[in-house]
């Protein structure tokens, strides 16, 4: 469960979609891009998403690759969450 610090809101398994960067896109049918289309913009959207972890957990329960798994490789996803862990760790250490 993640807490969005500035607002005190909690992201959990029931409400995570409200916090996704892809929610409410003006052209939701274009996200994620179709086969053969560039996924660069979709990756940028996923990398900055506060609900990426919940999206990944949801994707793991679905048939095929959906959500963040449809946009990023497993290696890219691992690197994203490792970078977030390191950033959070550095932030905690800076506050000590």
Residue 45 tokens read as: 């959207």
**pLDDT for 87 beyond 50:** yes
pTM of the model: 0.76
Residues 6+ apart with CB under 8 A from 72: 43, 46, 80
**Residue linked to tokens 């560039």:** 38
**Residue linked to tokens 């250490």:** 93
Taking Cα atoms as reference points, which of 71, 3, 84, 5 lies closest to residue 39? Answer: 71
Rounded percentage of the chain residues whose pLDDT exceeds 70: 83
pLDDT at res. 26: 56
**pLDDT for 68 beyond 80:** yes
Rounded percentage of the chain residues whose pLDDT exceeds 90: 35
Domain boundaries, the chain: 2-94
| Residue scoring higher pLDDT (24 or 53) | 53
């Amino acid at each position: 469960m993640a807490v969005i610090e500035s607002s005190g809101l909690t992201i959990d398994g029931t409400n995570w979609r409200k916090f996704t960067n892809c929610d409410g896109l003006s052209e939701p049918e274009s996200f994620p891009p179709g086969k053969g289309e560039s996924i660069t913009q979709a990756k940028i959207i996923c990398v900055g998403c506060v609900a990426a972890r919940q999206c990944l957990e949801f994707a793991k329960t679905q048939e095929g690759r959906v959500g963040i798994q449809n946009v990023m490789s497993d290696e890219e996803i691992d690197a994203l969450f490792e970078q977030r862990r390191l950033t959070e760790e550095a932030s905690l250490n800076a506050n000590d």
